[in-house]
Amino acid sequence: MKELLTIDDISVSYGNIQALKHVSMHVNEGDIVCLIGANGAGKSTLLKAIVGQEPLVSGTITYDGELICHAKHLDPTAGGKRRKSHSPTFTTDLIARKGIALVPEGRRVFADMTVEENLDMGAFMVRDDALIAKKKEEMYDFFPILGARRRQKTRSLSGGEQQMMAIARALMSSPKLLLLDEPGLGLAPLVIQDIFQKIAIINQEDKVTVFLVEQNARMALKASNEGYVMENGRIVLADSSAALLDNEQVRAAYLGE
């Protein structure tokens, strides 16, 4: 099976605080992979690193066979200053153009814009107006509530509706890899169930690979093929999601059993 995303020994620091510590993992093409862990474990930092929003202290990130992020190394001959690397590395917008879309934690919608205007923002890389119009209609078919409220300001939507819109906005760029940061955060159980059903359809019918970060460990593991557990910036467990659901350590720490 092809590895679409490969994370190799990456570290990220905020000043003296090491948020990620030598993290290695991969996401196979066509899979749903989840990352679970407590608040502050470093899960969101990992997603931001993948899309180039957090610089790496060590390691590399490869997407679809191409190096997209790497650490810049210190040059001892330059007084400890960072030297420019000849390795390829990409800014966030270029990473998005290569087929990665992030739905950030908290949705980050444009509250004073309409639903339709938010979707237009998701298609900022698309230059074909007819294709943009087609993609919007596809999103309205997939999320009917968005079609009914396309002219409404986003601030008037419920939390679940805003989450659907954030996912639809990410899908406007036709990504191959969809990164989801806490899609169930603050939502009612029935709404979360609906969101996860949509994620399964996106994966199975639209053939979009999904990397999911979620505090609702049971929901995330049931929805995914493979899973990772992060504690204090490190990957401490990696296995099939079914095996992690049966893992005594996971059941005690994350499933309340």
d(CA 80, CA 70): 18
Query: What is the C-alpha separation between 165 and 124, in angstroms, rounded?
Result: 16
Dihedral, 71, 77, 83, 85 alpha carbons, nearest 10: -70
Cβ neighbours of residue 226 closer than 8 Å, sequence gap 6 or more = 27, 28, 31, 33, 34, 238, 239, 240, 241
What local confidence, expressed as pLDDT, does residue 112 receive? 87
pTM of structure:
0.90
Taking the chain (257 residues) in runs of 10, the rounded mean pLDDT of each run is 95 91 97 94 95 93 94 55 52 92 82 91 86 93 93 90 92 95 89 93 96 93 97 96 96 85
Measured between alpha carbons, how far is 125 from 123 in angstroms, rounded to an integer?
Answer: 5
Domain spans in the chain, listed from the N-terminal domain onward: 3-254
Domain 3-254 coded CATH 3.20.20.70:
no
Tokens 């505090």 locate to: 215
Return the pLDDT at 73: 59
Are residues 58 and 20 in contact, defined by beta-carbon separation less than 8 angstroms?
no
